[in-house]
A and B are shown apart, each in its own frame.
Chain A
Amino acid sequence: MLNAIKQIGASDKLVITTVYVIVTSFALFSFIPFWLVIVNSFASESELGLHGFSLLPSKWSLDAYRYLLTGNQIYYSYGVTLFVTIVGTVLAVLITAMFAYVLAHPKIRYKNQLAFFTYFTILFGTGLVGFYIVISMWLGLKDSIWSMILPSLINPFYTFILVSFFRTLPFEIYESAVMDGAGDYRIFFRIMWPISVPAIATISLFYAIFYWNDWWLALLFVDNYKLQPLQLMIRQLISNLNILSYIQGSPGSYGGGLPNQGVRLATVCLTIGPIVFLYPYIQRYFVKGLTIGSVKG
């Protein structure tokens, strides 16, 4: 008996050691690229040229940031990304919430048809060509900031997360509110919205991160460098040889021996900054949102 307990103890110890080793390795594996980019953005350019990217640079400098912040492009791009994220998220959450509310409302007889109308967009690919023609030619949104906002105002997956939440709302209130003479808009915005704040906050975060990280729409529709969001700025810095004049925000000016590599890293750091900064908050809501989504009814 004692021997058996000892054996269990030994086997458990082996398991728990393996668990800690594997989980630690995976956590490091996940984090090292972040570390690499952040730390090396503060390395001096001569250090980067001499030793390349290292886990702990020996010479530090703020040159990359200083140079980046004297140019105009980072301000254009930050402005565009902020505008798209804020306006996009506000509009998308409003439209998605109103739409999802109708899909969840017991008085609506065509719920299933509306739901199918929404599902179908996930099932059948829209096709790149039609999408491109509608937005750039029919709507004339080429090189417009709205081309990065409007097409993403409804995300079917987020819609259904909200629908499943709205189905749990106390719709008995609805009847009595109608009796008291409240209209549908009043009921939605004054009664249903406030009790749905946790779910709506989660969806807002989903949309905000989506808009912050999106570059697909900008890649398709935006050529004007003044309208390029941060994510596209990173792409330009990777693929563009003449990055120095790009950063200045005015083609033509040119300087030599400036922090080339460092500027790319600094741009990445400024791009992921808000996400890393708000991360504890983001993570909590995301996990909550995933749980709401997984109990879809």
Chain B
Amino acid sequence: MVFREIMRNRVLYSLAVPGLLVLIIFFYLPMFGHVIAFKNYNYFDGIWGSPWTGLDNFKFFFGGSDWLRVTFNTLFLNALFIAFGLVISVILAIFLNEIRQAVFKRVAQSMAFLPFFVSWMVVSMMLFSLLNTSDGLINRSLKELGLDAVSWYSMPHYWPAILTIISVWKTAGYQAVIYLAAITSISPEYYESAQIDGATRLQRIRHITMPLLRPTIIVLTLLAIGRIFYGDFGMIFGLVGDNGVLYETTDVIDTYAYRALRQLGNFGMSSSIGLYQSVLGLVTICVFNLIVRKIDKESSIF
């Protein structure tokens, strides 16, 4: 029956073949790599030929304290990014919506949206020109105020805050644009009748904009929480790179797995970390997606 359906529409199905091949080769085939988590991988025997080792790789990974640290950092940093990103982007969207001067609004929105379009490598250079100990703008200013320069790149305890500020800098403008689109779809009649009844701007924001924006906020936040086990590799690796001093507070599961693979060449351990993350990731995404489905079926991803 499957065969008949495909044969009947074979030309149509053939349009999907290149896409299917890409998905199979670059997404599904690599999933077999998870097998390596249970093997003592060596280059010559390959994925299938290398000997099985049971749970040794997992014992190695969970035996140390690293797994707790990287898991904590991943969850903690993502929680900070989600919370601060949410509050600031919603405020920004509501405020942008209150602005009646079209040119000012357009320029401000463009400036806030701009960081979204540059890579983490570019951001890393920008950060360097701000935080660099000897001649970064911030330390220069501190010195001019008569204060001591801070060597930011060797002080791990500052970094959750630094990374949160950068995350807000990079994504809040973009998120605000999404929320702004939701706000502009609110019927202007609500605002007009509220105005006739003598509502102030603040009251209009509190009693019209906020409640009507809530479903969008909830859905987007839940979807973000669903991905909380996936650290932003590009961000962390781009900004922190190989600076081991900062690992204590910045190392996430993704950067740890990367180093295990590329610097230690430990395929087995890197793979067990990957599997650990994929399973936790799958569970959280499914749970949060089910919640989203309950709230708003249209917005759930499956």
- A associates with B: yes
Knowing A26-B112, A40-B129, A296-B298 touch, does A238 contact B270 (C-beta < 8 A)? no
**A154 touching B19 by the CB < 8 A rule?**
yes
Among A22, A33, A265, max chain B CB count under 10 A is at A33
B262 CB, nearest partner CB in chain A, Å: 8
Q: Which of B117, B173, B257 contacts A275 (CB 8 A)?
A: B117
- Is residue B11 contacting chain A, with contact meaning CB distance below 8 A? yes
In the complex, the chain A residue whose C-beta lies closest to that of B139 is A52
**A30 touching B26 by the CB < 8 A rule?**
no
- Is residue B103 contacting chain A, with contact meaning CB distance below 8 A? no
Among A110, A127, A239, A271, max chain B CB count under 10 A is at A127
Knowing A51-B140, A129-B274 touch, does A279 contact B95 (C-beta < 8 A)? no
**A130 touching B30 by the CB < 8 A rule?**
yes
Q: What B residues does A276 contact at CB under 8 A? A: 114
- Is residue B242 contacting chain A, with contact meaning CB distance below 8 A? yes
**B202 touching A15 by the CB < 8 A rule?**
yes
**A291 touching B201 by the CB < 8 A rule?**
no
**A109 touching B5 by the CB < 8 A rule?**
yes
Q: What total count of A-B pairs have CB within 8 Å?
A: 295
User: In the assembly, what is the distance between CA of A280 and CA of B117, in Å?
Assistant: 12
**A102 touching B301 by the CB < 8 A rule?**
no
**B181 touching A116 by the CB < 8 A rule?**
no
**A108 touching B9 by the CB < 8 A rule?**
yes
**B108 touching A23 by the CB < 8 A rule?**
yes
Among B16, B112, B202, B302, max chain A CB count under 10 A is at B16
**B33 touching A131 by the CB < 8 A rule?**
yes
Using a CB-CB cutoff of 8 Å, which residues 4-37 of chain B contact chain A?
Answer: 5-6, 9, 11-13, 15-16, 18-20, 22-23, 25-34, 36
How many chain B residues touch A (CB < 8 A): the figure is: 102
**A128 touching B261 by the CB < 8 A rule?**
yes
Q: What B residues does A31 contact at CB under 8 A? A: 111, 114
- Is residue B61 contacting chain A, with contact meaning CB distance below 8 A? no
Q: Which of B26, B119, B128, B275 contacts A215 (CB 8 A)?
A: B119
In the complex, the chain A residue whose C-beta lies closest to that of B266 is A129
**B110 touching A283 by the CB < 8 A rule?**
yes
Q: What B residues does A69 contact at CB under 8 A? A: none
User: In the assembly, what is the distance between CA of A232 and CA of B242, in Å?
Assistant: 14
User: In the assembly, what is the distance between CA of A137 and CA of B267, in Å?
Assistant: 13
User: In the assembly, what is the distance between CA of A121 and CA of B202, in Å?
Assistant: 44
Q: What A residues does B20 contact at CB under 8 A? A: 99, 117
B-binding residues in A (CB < 8 A): 4-5, 8, 11-12, 15-16, 19-20, 22-24, 26-31, 33-34, 36-37, 40, 48-49, 51-55, 94-96, 98-99, 101-103, 105, 107-110, 114, 116-119, 121-135, 137-139, 150-151, 153-154, 159, 183-185, 188, 209, 212-216, 219-220, 231-232, 234-235, 238-239, 261, 264-265, 268, 271-272, 275-276, 279-280, 282-283, 286-287, 290-291, 294, 296-297
Can you give 21 A-B contacts (C-beta < 8 A)?
A26-B88, A33-B123, A34-B115, A53-B136, A95-B18, A95-B19, A98-B15, A102-B13, A105-B12, A107-B9, A109-B5, A118-B23, A130-B30, A130-B31, A133-B36, A137-B46, A150-B22, A183-B11, A213-B118, A264-B125, A276-B114
Smallest CB-CB A-B distances: 8 pairs: A130-B33, A52-B135, A99-B19, A130-B30, A125-B278, A127-B274, A213-B119, A33-B126
